[in-house]
Amino acid sequence: MSDFDLFRISEDHEALREAVREVCENKIAPHAADVDEESRFPQEALDALQSTDFHAPHIAEEYDGVGADALATCIVIEEVARVCASSSLIPAVNKLGTMPLILGASDEIKAKYLPPVARGEAMFSYGLSEAGAGSDTAGMKCKAIEQADGTFLLNGQKSWITNAGVSEYYTVLAVTDPEGERGRNVTAFVVEKSDEGFTFGKPEKKLGIKGSPTRELLFENCSIPGDRMVGAPGEGLKIALRTLDHTRVTIGAQAVGIAQGALDFALGYVKERQQFGKSISQFQGVQFMLADMGMKLEAARQMVYVAAAKSERNDPDLPFFGAAAKCFASDVAMEVTTDAVQLLGGYGYTKDFPVERMMRDAKITQIYEGTNQVQRIVMARQLLKG
């Protein structure tokens, strides 16, 4: 491989993009506005993604998956987000929920829970945040106390859980040693939707990603078998934070997709829209806006792809690059979608056109999987560590 090939996306990755885009344009895009308007789960997208093996592409072949690398997974999420951000949370959250297992679980747990997700029989969500422990994850109050028979009794709640109620499985973080050292007393478990004592709060009414259900997880004397532990006791938070190093890259990819969808639509619109006797694409003020949108979007895409390569290799500087990609790309998505609304003028503010939905959807990418303020803390710490 020549040095120049390092800066070119492989033919396989480009072929993947074409295949995903075709599925998205034909099967997902036609339902995106309806999904948003009705705040309903995008079942059409789930069916389309499962039938083409794009619903959880990251799972290895040994667990019945297609074994897509981190960059390929990002391309899938980016392309789905380009037409429907809510639908892109299907592959993104399947990765988020299963990543703790991939990083830290026993072979038995992986063999039990990864194949059903890979085959499209189940989805997997991730339970870390709580009402009083958002950015301060170590401050969680949810407890899993070991019983005499080796089971764990789970009590507490988790907030803002993506695809809650639809997913069959949940990675849940809970304090297992209330007297132990803060942050080192948390353990990860797999919780099944059918577990007694496990229920859901009402769906949250949200600004964007309305097709992806967000609900509380509620645990009241929920008994969990000891063999559902992910990793060793007390390792939960370490596994959770390592998970986020990898999955923040996928949020960056989602943000890039949302921004690309908005830019694509705005470009088509400004070429058609006539004012003062000519297309508004001929006005320098409009051209400068488009140039900035395109430039920042490409910078964000390159950061995400580099971070994806580092995720695939497990590079030691992934924490910096994952945080940087997520932070930069989500800020760019917010800016590009806002400018797309501006370029459409009064029409941009109406639901007749998709850019207002994209603007609302973009906002969450600056918040979830660690706010962009937290990303800057992560980056600064990595820089100061050298």
DSSP string of 175-217? ES-TTS-TTSSEEEEEEETT-TTEEE-PPP--SS-TTS-EEEE
Q: How far apart are the first and last CA of the chain?
A: 30
Give the active site residue among 130, 235, 356, 369: 369
- 83-98: b (≥16 Cβ within 10 Å) or e: bbbbbbbbbbbbbbbb
The C-alpha angle 237, 188, 103, rounded to 5 degrees, equals: 75
φ, ψ for residue 101 (rounded to 5)?
Answer: -70, -45
Enter the DSSP assignment of 91.
Answer: H
Give CA–CA dist 326/369, Å, rounded.
9
φ, ψ for residue 365 (rounded to 5)?
Answer: -65, -20
CA nearest to 347, candidates 356, 337, 360 = 356
Give CA–CA dist 312/333, Å, rounded.
24
Whether 369 is catalytic: yes
Give CA–CA dist 98/114, Å, rounded.
7
Using CA atoms, how far residue 256 sits from 8, 79, 300, 305, 337, in Å, is: 18, 9, 7, 11, 11
CA nearest to 59, candidates 116, 126, 114, 125 = 114
The C-alpha angle 314, 70, 162, rounded to 5 degrees, equals: 105
Question: Which of helix, strand or coil describes residue 356?
Answer: helix
CA nearest to 125, candidates 98, 146, 159, 105 = 98
- Active-site positions read 369
